Amino acid sequence: MSMTTKKDIRSLRAEELRDYFLSIDEPKYRADQVYQWLWQKSAHSFSDMSNLPKGLRDKLEEQFIVHELTVHTRQKSADGTIKYAFELSDGNMVEGVLIPTAKRLTACISTQVGCSLACKFCATGMLKRMRNLAYSEIYDQVVVINEEAKREYGKGLTNIVYMGMGEPLLNYANTMESVAKITQEQGLHMSAKRITISTAGIAKMIRQMGEEKSKVKLALSLHAANDEKRNSIMAINESNNLQILAEALNYYYSHTKQKITFEYIIFKGFNDTLTDAKELLDFCRKVPSKVNIIEYNDVEGTEFKQADQDKVDAFAAYLENNGVIAKVRRSRGKDIDAACGQLANK
């Protein structure tokens, strides 16, 4: 069987793997051993699976492949942030970032090659969407960054954010399956509470997350709390406007009891006034939420600029004084284009 026709064994669910082993007259526990090698031990070669008989390893080698992503380039920022260009088995590239802070080690990971949403301020939005990532490709980014965190900082990841390239909720099944693999005992066994999925606002899938009582945190890239402004920078708002989003977010909250985080990139002369802050406050009052105000990071080819510091401080203070939890997030990794909105396979 040629490499091209071999099936990626990690595309099989646990029960499918068991069915396969029964079909070749192997006991069910062999499937569990292989599953553990693939997900808990991140083995990419059947020859590594030392508790399997050699004949079985050879048979698996003939039938299957374990696709692997590799680190194509690695750049380290002055602030300790590390950006990776990951090469996928088909030659496509995605980026991931390790972000160290005093209390956290966070992996920022991608869910699509490119992105179809074309938000005006985002470098990834300038790339066209090539394809969705498989759940194993999303998972592997976390494995690589986790190992790197241990090497660089002496401990593993504390948090994962789905805020890299692509819109996670437009690759819903693979995104959620990767979360399942990251959180399961036979995987990385991380707490779902330490995982945040960030969306530009796909109301239908936000509702689905609610119905499935998703345990991960949800963040909405808001950036403007009136439809006219949001339409002008995020085309997705035309089909998923603020009213539709508020209803979906409340539906999600009613099922999960998890507050939503609104991400608000503050742009000079666009959304940095107290009128904008008042609109955001009104929107926050519709949905149980808190706000992360994010510094803008310059992206070549866009007209946007970072708001003046006094405007940012006044904006945050207005929200805080009116009872909204609002934090200003300082950007990290700017010098290597690893900060929010800058991922574009450079």
Specify the pairing of strand 112-113 against strand 131-132.
antiparallel
- DSSP-based three-state secondary structure for 181: helix
The pLDDT tens digits of the residues spanning 215-257 come to 999 999 999 999 999 999 999 999 999 999 999 999 999 999 9
CA 150 to chain centroid, in Å, comes to 20
Positions marked active-site:
95, 340
The CATH number of the structural domain formed by 70-336 is: 3.20.20.70
pLDDT at 2: 47
Q: Which whole number is the average pLDDT over 162-178?
A: 96
Give pTM, 2 decimals.
0.92
Specify the pairing of strand 260-266 against strand 289-295.
parallel
Q: C-alpha distances in angstroms, 40 versus 34, 35, 105, 148?
A: 10, 8, 20, 17
**Please, where in the chain does CATH 3.20.20.70 lie?**
70-336
57-61, 115-119, 153-157: least confident range? 115-119
Helix, strand, coil fractions of the chain, as percent rounded to 5: 40, 20, 40
The pLDDT tens digits of the residues spanning 70-103 come to 999 999 988 889 999 999 999 999 999 999 999 9
Confidence of residue 339 (pLDDT cuts 50, 70, 90): low
Share of the chain above pLDDT 70, in %: 93
How far apart, in whole angstroms, are the C-alpha atoms of residue 56 and residue 46? 9
The pLDDT tens digits of the residues spanning 305-338 come to 889 999 999 999 999 999 999 999 876 666 656 5
Confidence of residue 260 (pLDDT cuts 50, 70, 90): very high
Share of the chain above pLDDT 90, in %: 82
340 vs 21, residue with greater confidence:
21
Task: Decide if domain 3-65 falls under CATH 1.10.150.530.
Answer: yes
Confidence of residue 5 (pLDDT cuts 50, 70, 90): confident
How far apart, in whole angstroms, are the C-alpha atoms of residue 270 and residue 266? 8
Tokens at 318, concatenated: 């207005």
* Phi, psi (degrees; rounded to nearest 5) at 263: -95, 130
**Please, where in the chain does CATH 1.10.150.530 lie?**
3-65
CA-nearest of 171, 184, 258, 182 to 214 is 258
Which residues on neighbouring strands pair with residue 70, listed in sequence order?
87
pLDDT at 295: 86
Q: Which whole number is the average pLDDT over 199-206?
A: 97
